[in-house]
Amino acid sequence: MSEDLLSFEPATGEELWRGPVSRVDDEVEIARGAWPAWAAQAVTFRAETLRRFADRVKAEAETLADLIARETGKPLWEARTEVESVANKVDISVKAYAERTPNRRIEGAMGLRNAVRHKPHGALAVLGPYNFPAHLPNGHIVPALLAGNSVLFKPSEKTPATGAKLVELFHGAGVPQEVLRLVIGGPETGKALASHEGIDGLLFTGSARTGLALSRQFAGQPGKMLALEMGGNNPVVVWDTADIRTAAILVVQSAFLSAGQRCTNARRLIVKEAMAERLIEEVKTLANRLIVDHPHAEPAPYMGPVIDNEAADGLTESFLILMSNGGQVIRHMTRPVADRPFLTPGIIDVTAMPERPDIELFGPLLQVIRVDSFEAAIAEANNTAFGLSAALIGGSPQLYDQFWANARAGVINWNRPTNGASSAAPFGGIGLSGNHRPSAFYAADYCAYPVASSESDAMRASIGVGLRDPEGSQLVTKKYL
């Protein structure tokens, strides 16, 4: 009898879904056997199949949004925006595939052609996260299928129901069941899939710890594609603005959207000392007004719970550690419901801490750092091994140019939140945030590889030097055609 994986609603603790753990060897064998026929289909056929998937997502948008909200705890309004992103991904990916992996031909002399075309890798594994259980894995799955790969999708063990629904929608749109496989299981299942010799690559979104382990594992396998997106310890810098209220709104959006469970959320607020008190007071006032409640509550909450009690316990402990090591509390992080993972926004000034932890605190916890100069602000922004997103709020165009040129991140915004990233642009980071395989519009780059060809309809060849005369030993200089 196979073991089952269970999923629970963070807001209520009730069981939401259960399903049997997959046999990785069997799933890989099926996907490997299916991808050649899928790759042989015209790209227009695959694109139309995926467009039917987008139509099915739109038709079942409310059902999918409700499931996402229940399984992640995020507010229903936010789950609806995730569903919109899932549907929109298809047209964006088709456009990206045409732009990033076009067929090119250059005509040469005597009928010679130089061509560049692209081939799929084969069977690709996709490991999905829990914070965007539909949108983020979909951002790998759609371009991978479009390029002609088969896909083995393992959703997070914390959000398997959303993963199963997503795969159901793909299959219902005409993606063959053998081409897209749902792999259910916990961390051990993920490790077995990632290390399986039958996969041709792995597309991963998740923690830096797991990403580093995957990077070491794939180091001896240069023939396999590895694309990593691993989050960040992201800075938002506020400088020289009289509009303190708008700046505070942008800070709160950066720090507390999705209960702080976006990889692009701001973890550190770096602010000019001369304006720090006014800004911090406004941020605190706004944070006090944020509604934290279950996904379907009325009035609609800004934040739901974090994913589970283990995550909430870890964040609470991190807040206490910052306090005990010199952090000055601006707003306490609290647990409004004792046995559920709801957290209120926590804000703490860590300017005086001699050593600040360079980790991704994945939740509604914002650290404040005061500085005297813009150069110090940039240095503090770069005081991390991560490099996903950064934002400057306020300042002049010249200051933004300086910030853009010197900030180490893959997403750099001005007068926008740190988590404002467009799917029509590349998305990825450097350092511990990624391995230079940005997703979103650039996902086409890692879902297919270029093949250069020199081609001619007729054979022509000559050797013009270095041949002996066939009748003797004398060297010849004429060409043999």
- Which one of the listed residues 9, 71, 157, 263 is annotated catalytic? 263
Q: Both tokens of residue 86?
A: 């899932």
E strand or H helix at 127? strand 123-127
Judge whether 447 counts as a catalytic residue. no
Alpha helices (runs of H) in 42-184, residue ranges in sequence order: 43-59, 61-72, 76-100, 135-147, 160-172
Q: Both tokens of residue 288?
A: 């006090």
Residue with tokens 């948008």: 61
Strand boundaries in 187-253, DSSP class E: 201-205, 225-229, 234-239
- Which one of the listed residues 9, 157, 229, 380 is annotated catalytic? 229
Q: How far apart are the first and last CA of the chain?
A: 71
Task: Please enumerate, as own/partner, the contacts of 283-290 that have beta carbons within 8 Å and a separation of 24 or more.
Answer: 283/248, 283/251, 283/252, 283/347, 283/366, 284/330, 284/331, 284/347, 285/248, 286/248, 286/249, 286/252, 287/252, 287/256, 287/331, 287/345, 287/347, 288/331, 290/252, 290/256, 290/344, 290/345
Longest CA span, the chain = 98
Q: Find the Cα–Cα–Cα–Cα dihedral 122, 128, 133, 139, rounded to 10°.
A: -40
- Residues annotated as catalytic are 229, 263
